[in-house]
Amino acid sequence: MDKSENRKAIIVGIFLALGLIVFVIGVLTLGGSNKTFSKKIHIKATFDDVAGLKAGNNVWFSGVKVGTISDIRFTGPSQVDVRMSVDANSQQYIHRNAGVKISSDGLIGNKIIVIDGGSPQAPIVEDGDVLQSEKLLSTDDMLKTLQQNNQNLLSITKDIKDLTHQILQGKGAVGALLADSAMGVQLRNSMRNLEVTTQTAARVAVQLDNFGKKMNTKGGLADNLMTDTTTFNKIKAAAAQLQKAVTSASAFTENLNNASKKLTTTDNALGILLNDPKAAVKVQSTLDNLQQSSIKLNDDLEAAQHNFLLKGYFKKKDKAKADSLGHK
């Protein structure tokens, strides 16, 4: 073998060695990214629709890739089992009440499985556990929702168009305000009056606050009434006496009313004298007769004193009267 052949063999050997080294590095790198050589646990979830999910797609947990989808198979009508191979190092953070849902890797990327960690009170997931799946909102559902929203948007747009047309024609309160300048002036005057009223209310509030502070002044009448029980009791007693006086006055007034009512009737002497003119004339005549009778009686007595038969009697009586006055 000459030197040229040896050189070719060496070059070929070097290329083979480099290719082998690149192959080994690639295998190790690929295996490390897919965690092929790490310990794994297998869990699964059942979906009604996997929306194009494939074996080999990634499994994510809290934004971190923790495994891949190992198998997808039918287990019944509209029942699809998705088996996942998850890194055992992530096992301690995933709990049995965790939820599983299908999502996308980016806006239009590959489908992935996203695991929600669940509550810390639940046990940690074990190999072979089945997690609860969440229903995926399909593209058809999203299109239906979008179509419904479009219809609602069209209805709202039509309503706004009709409302704007009515406003421009001066219909309704807003249209009248825009079209009628006099109404606009009235509205501004109303707002001005409202502002004045608000300022007045503010002043009244300040005055009420000052009045309340004065009411709470120590030593004042209101403070004594609210805090001094002695003063309150005196006022209460005075009020009670005033009530008694009012009651007595009411009774006195009632008696006067009753007396005045009796004076206006003819069933008593005063009532007859006040209300019956004939009776008053009779009483006056009787008084006149009595006066005349008393005058006549005096004359008779005077005449009797000068009578010789009774003259001695009256003299004795006058003497006895004089003696009694002398002893005194």
Amino acid code (one letter) for 226: M
Q: Is residue 326 part of a domain?
A: no
**99 DSSP assignment:** E
Task: For residues 89 and 63, give the distance between their C-alpha atoms in angstroms, rounded to a whole number.
Answer: 15
Q: Which of 138, 168, 202 is where one domain is finished?
A: 138
Same-domain status, 132 and 187: no
Q: Which residues pair with 58 in a beta bridge?
A: 68
Angstrom CA distances, 307 to 17, 82, 217, 304, stand at 199, 167, 98, 5
Of the candidates 207, 233, 211, the one whose C-alpha atom is nearest the C-alpha of residue 222 is 211
Among 107, 111, 118, 109, CA closest to 61 = 118
pLDDT at 83 over 90: yes
User: Above 70 in pLDDT, residue 303?
Assistant: no
Do 102 and 50 meet the contact criterion of CB atoms below 8 Å apart?
A: yes
Has residue 58 been placed in a domain? yes
Whether the CB-CB separation of 129 and 42 falls below 8 Å is answered with: no
CB contact at 8 A, 1 and 46? no
Residue 120 lies in a domain: yes
At 178 the pLDDT is: 62
> Of 88, 117, 138, which marks where a domain is finished?
138
d(CA 129, CA 43): 5
The pLDDT of residue 85 is 92
Return d(Cα 18, Cα 26) in angstroms, integer: 12
Residues ≥6 apart with Cβ < 8 Å to 39: 87, 88, 89
pLDDT band of 230, cuts 50, 70, 90? confident
Q: 117, 138, 159: which is the final residue of a domain?
A: 138
pTM of the model: 0.37
Number of domains composing the chain: 2
Looking at the domain assignment, is residue 202 inside a domain?
A: yes
Q: Are the CB atoms for 50 and 110 separated by under 8 Å?
A: no
Query: If you write DSSP's letter for every residue of 138-200 in order, what string do you get?
Result: -HHHHHHHHHHHHHHHHHHHHHHHHHHHHHHTT-HHHHHHHH-HHHHHHHHHHHHHHHHHHHH
Residues 46 and 110 in one domain: yes
Q: Is residue 313 situated within a structural domain?
A: no
Residue 259 located in a structural domain:
no
- In degrees and rounded to multiples of 5, residue 264 shows phi and psi of -85, -5
Say if residue 192 is in the same domain as residue 110: no
pLDDT band of 294, cuts 50, 70, 90: confident
Residues 110 and 197 in one domain: no
Q: 209 and 126 in one domain?
A: no
Per-residue model confidence as pLDDT tens digits over 32-78 = 555 555 688 999 898 888 888 888 899 999 888 999 999 999 888 88
- Are residues 129 and 57 part of one domain? yes
Find where tokens 């069209």 sit: 154
| Full domain range(s) for residue 67 | 37-138
Structure tokens at 77: 């009508």
Over the stretch 118-157, which tens digit does the pLDDT of each residue have?
888 889 899 988 888 887 666 666 677 778 888 888 888 8
- pLDDT per residue over 167-182, tens digit each? 666 666 666 666 666 7
Asked, for residue 129, whether it belongs to a domain, the answer is yes
pLDDT at 30 over 80: no
For residues 197-221, give the mean pLDDT: 77
Query: Are residues 44 and 134 located together in one domain of the fold?
Result: yes
Same domain, 131 and 191: no
Question: Is 174 within the bounds of a domain?
Answer: no
